[in-house]
Amino acid sequence: MSLSLKPVEAQVMVITGASSGIGLATADTAAQQGAKLVLAARSQGALDEIVQHINEAGGEAIAVVADVADRQQVEGIAEAAISRFGRIDTWVNDAGGSIYGKLEEVSEADSRRLFDTNFWGVVNGSLAALPHLKKQGGALINLGSEVSEAVIPLQGMYAASKHAVKGFTDALRVELELEDAPISVTLIQPTAVNTPFPQHAKNYMDKEPALPTPQKDPYDVASAIVHAASHPERDIKVGMMSKMNTAMAKFAPGLGDKMAQMQANRQHYDEAPRNPGGALYTAGGTAQTHGSGPADKA
């Protein structure tokens, strides 16, 4: 089957996790290219601010407050898109979070909550989108990570959830190809990105969490996502470190393990943690695309 995707300016695009970071950068980028947007997250205030800004700039967007861990709420996102725009052309599963801490220290409840968002949120979004995408064709875009294949210490459960996202996405792609469905399924695998990700993570450490450098700009990831919305791609690795780390995990896993060990002391600042609870259980949307760590204030 020859798969043809609409140009972005002719699309209705759903984006989860749209209240900050990569999701917000994707909303900005897609809006600038003329897409109609359905933006979903848990933070009503942040979503309202973002939608108002897009609409005042001449775009068209609506907000849907939803927790992607709840399948019924995710179905509500799809229903809102159909009610307002009549179709869905691209669905982006971006919502996610992390936990900083050793695996033996992280509680089972916290680990399960992380999987509910990072993995089951992708499953819920994908399955809610499929019936609509099958009708006229479209793109399903899931946010993985370089740690969908590699690993990083002190974020072990995050890495596990992103491995699961890759497995689900790859299996779903194969099943859709078997039935000749007109859907492009893309996995986006960024390296570390300068977003509020560390501040939104649950933190078991006694220091402020950080992402190692170098970090990509969230708009670089957004560009890859918007590209995949109109150009069928199997997967896109964003950043040289993503390409290097995933290749190392595949072809030199022992060396990859040693390199990963070196990241342990690069995942925190020297300051005391500001918000150890993060956004694991409560909305953390701040309408900020970029990070707010001590080293990022300048």
pLDDT on residue 260: 84
Residue 298 has pLDDT above 80, yes or no: no
Domain ranges across the chain: 8-296
Q: Sign (positive/negative) of CA torsion 238, 241, 247, 249?
A: negative
Helix axes 156-178, 108-118, angle to 10 degrees: 30
> Residue 220 is inside which H or E element, if any?
helix 218-230
Q: What does the pLDDT look like over 14-64, one tens digit per residue?
A: 999 999 999 999 999 999 999 999 999 999 999 999 999 999 999 999 999
- pTM comes to 0.95
Record the tokens describing residue 46, joined without a space.
Answer: 């942040």
215: amino acid identity, one letter: Q
d(CA 218, CA 237): 13
Record the tokens describing residue 195, joined without a space.
Answer: 């977003």
Distances (CA, A) of 83 to 34, 38, 47, 87, 139: 19, 11, 19, 8, 20
pLDDT on residue 53: 97
Report which of residues 297 and 210 the model is more confident about.
Answer: 210
d(CA 293, CA 88): 36
- Fold classification of 8-296 is Rossmann fold (3.40.50)
Q: What does the pLDDT look like over 239-271, one tens digit per residue?
A: 998 988 899 888 998 988 888 888 888 888 888
Record the tokens describing residue 155, joined without a space.
Answer: 């974020």
> Residue 138 is inside which H or E element, if any?
strand 138-143
pLDDT on residue 224: 98
Q: What does the pLDDT look like over 56-68, one tens digit per residue?
A: 999 999 999 999 9
- Enumerate the active-site residues: 158
Whole-angstrom distance between the N-terminal and C-terminal Cα of the chain? 50
